Amino acid sequence: MKIKVLTLNYQDSQHAQDMLFLLDNYALDPMGNALFWEPRL
């Protein structure tokens, strides 16, 4: 399974925060960053 992980500090970026609602797969790390990953197509 190919996984692409992107980190965005949603607290500093309103756009990144909005993206949370557009993605099914995400998690928040202890630093407050949003971790996104895409499932294999």
Q: For residue range 2-40, list pLDDT tens digits in order.
A: 555 555 555 555 555 556 555 555 666 666 666 665 555
C-alpha distances in Å from residue 29, one per residue of 6, 37, 41: 12, 13, 25
Task: Say whether pLDDT at 1 is over 50.
Answer: no
For residue 16, which of 33, 37, 39, 41 has the smallest C-alpha distance?
A: 33
CA–CA gap between residue 15 and residue 1 (Å, rounded) = 28
- Sequence-ordered strand ranges (E) for the chain: 5-9, 26-28, 33-37
pTM: 0.22
State the pLDDT at residue 24. 53
State the pLDDT at residue 25. 57
Q: Locate the domains of the chain by residue range.
A: 5-37
Helix ranges (H only) for 1-41 are: 14-19
